[in-house]
Amino acid sequence: MNDCSIQEHWIESGNGRLYARLWQPAVGRNGDDAPVVLFHDSLGSVALWRDFPAQLAAATGRTVIAYDRLGFGQSDPHPGKLRNTFIHDEASGDFRALRDALGIRAFVAFGHSVGGGMAVACAATYPDDCIALITESAQAFVEDRTLQGITEAREAFRQPGQLDRLTKYHGDKAEWVLHAWIDTWLADDFAGWNLDDDLTRIASPALAIHGDLDEYGSVLHPQRIARLADGTTAILKQIGHVPHREQPDVVINLASHWLSQLPPSTVGWSTD
């Protein structure tokens, strides 16, 4: 059992309230250690991380923070459509509101899928504060394999009852969540999107985790992330798009060991 205290926070973003949850381990490395901030995937939420944050906090001795982006989970509805710059915009949007509200200074960015792209953007935008970057199943560019996976998912969600899977976590925002994912990625004006510019501005150590059976992206993605960010890859055999759910112990052991090799961080929390 993971011995963590849990806090819940409601944060004003300027466009609506964000929901965040914080897991603090009973035994930490240092009270000033930079927390791990989790960025969820295109259909994700705080609740869909399940017990992974508590396990990660216990294994690393670091506070772990997850939040629902505007329009997702328990956060307020999004006021409109996602812009095709939404991945990069996260750094100056919801994430900035989270940092300001919780007094986060130094941080570890850990993102799954599109959240991995957002973690990259945040690490690039705040290079003096991001001490480490971990991407899991992140897309670094628009690949045919990614579009094929999304197209197949669109057909699957057209079947009766499938939207109920999202309603459980997003309530009456579920349809918006689904279209925000599918419509944005399949739009013609998104075809040229990539993380190249952000990746070249990463100043922290970077680890790109990816399953070799990922249905939403080949190993070209972690390879590109590691090459441009001067990082390392961890290709997991016989694992698909959600390694932290398919093989949580593997991901937690990998991430905690890698983070343990980092030098002590600067103060992770504001004392103002």
Place 26 in a pLDDT band, splitting at 50, 70 and 90: confident
Q: What is the rounded CA–CA span in Å between residue 180 and residue 82?
A: 6
pLDDT in tens, 51-103: 999 999 999 999 999 999 999 999 999 999 999 999 999 999 999 999 999 99
pLDDT in tens, 172-194: 999 999 999 999 999 999 999 99
For residue 68, what pLDDT is reported?
A: 98
Residue 257: CB partners within 8 Å, gap ≥ 6? none
Q: Distances from the Cα of 158 to the Cαs of 78, 150, 151, 182, in angstroms?
A: 23, 13, 11, 12
Q: Hey, what domains does the chain have and what are their CATH numbers? A: 4-260 (3.40.50.1820)
Place 271 in a pLDDT band, splitting at 50, 70 and 90: very low
Q: What is the rounded CA–CA span in Å between residue 154 and residue 192?
A: 21
For residue 29, what pLDDT is reported?
A: 57
Q: What is the rounded CA–CA span in Å between residue 165 and residue 68?
A: 17
pTM: 0.95
Pair 69, 98: CB distance under 8 Å: no
pLDDT in tens, 244-259: 999 999 999 999 999 9
In which element (H, E) is residue 229 found?
helix 220-229
